[in-house]
Amino acid sequence: MQRLDGGSAVPLPLRGAIVALGNFDGFHLGHQAVVGRAVERARAEGRPAIVATFDPHPRRFFQPDAPPFRLTTLDQRERLFGHAGAAAMLVFHFDATLARLTARQFADQLVDTVGAAGVVTGEDFTFGKGREGSVATLAALGEELGFTAETVAPVALDGGTVSSSRIRAALKAGDPGTAAALLTRPFAISAEVEGGAKLGRQLGYPTANMRLGTYLRPAYGIYAVRGRLPDGRVLDGVANLGIRPSFDPPIELLESFFFDFSGDLYGQRLEVELIAYLRPEAKFDSLDALIAQMDQDSARARDLLARG
């Protein structure tokens, strides 16, 4: 799958594509419906399918001091779009120049960049300076500029609309199961494993330490997790996500201990899926009390993960 710059014309074999257009952070069920429709149309018409997204997220541009909220990195989205059948991911860099474009100017850029034959969005898609453009605006511009515009209705699950905000709320509430149902896969943090103070090794629980970066902060606490290594291996484990209140200074990390594994993960990019929330973080009066709790957490995580 190709990653393309939204500021440059796409290669000739990809021109005339059907474009799924949106932020698609998380690539949840609703996003999958939009991209799925674009891929379906592209195949029916013998065209390529391209997913166009924005990076950074427009909210980060307009609210630079907002707390981290991302559900996926660009690399994760690229992989997910490829699995969904897209031929390429087109990334519009969201900066002051893009923010100043009118709806008409953005549509012109889409035509110039892709030569789009069709554009598929969600029903709530907005674009252009001050979010002046709606799906009706896009349809009208399409008629004028030579592309069709199609919308896909929101997807409902368990009595509510599937949305990134609903997923974020579930993760903040310590409910990764609901988030996974809406995403169709566990929420996963991908980052490089860093060296640490080796406190876990001293306790008999050597951990792979990862920064959370721009990801949303789920509820701090202990999780049953699955780690996916670059070589394809999948490891069950238990992790602390938070600031480690039993140690000073507090450092925000995802620290994963993988069962029945010995090896050096430093410097490798690891993806850790949050499967189940076990308990909140806690401060312990002694290392013995902490180790006893870690033993209980590990046993519980093993049991939960063994069930699938």
Question: Which pLDDT band holds residue 12 (cuts at 50, 70, 90)?
Answer: very high
Tell me: the pLDDT tens digits for 100-154? Answer: 999 999 999 999 999 999 999 999 999 999 999 999 999 999 999 999 999 999 9
Q: What is the pLDDT of residue 238?
A: 97
**Model confidence at 201: pLDDT above 70:** no
Judge whether 301 and 278 are in contact, CB under 8 Å. yes
State the amino acid at position 270 in one-letter form.
L
Distance CA 16, CA 9 (A): 12
CA distances from 213 to 139, 190, 216, 220, 253 (A): 37, 9, 9, 15, 10
Q: Tell me the backbone φ, ψ of residue 7, rounded to 5 degrees.
A: -90, 0
Q: State mean pLDDT over 168-178.
A: 98
As a whole number of angstroms, the distance between CA 44 and CA 62 comes to 38
How confident is the prediction for the chain on average, in pLDDT?
A: 93
Is the pLDDT assigned to residue 254 strictly greater than 60?
Answer: yes
53 has which bridge partners?
A: 91
Residues in contact with 239: Cβ distance below 8 Å, sequence separation at least 6, in sequence order: 207, 222, 223, 225, 254, 255, 256, 257, 272, 274
The reported pLDDT for the residue numbered 23 is 94
Residue 183: name the closest of 166, 195, 202 by CA.
166
Taking 90 as the threshold, does the pLDDT of residue 196 lie above it? no
Question: Alpha carbon 16 to chain centroid distance?
Answer: 28
Q: What does the alpha-carbon distance between residue 272 and residue 229 come to, in Å, rounded to a whole number?
A: 9
Q: Which residue has the higher pLDDT, 115 or 205?
A: 115
pLDDT at 291: 87
Counting every residue written for the chain, the total comes to 308
Whether the CA torsion 120, 122, 123, 124 is positive or negative: it is negative
**More confident call, 194 vs 190:** 190
Q: Has residue 198 got a pLDDT over 70?
A: no
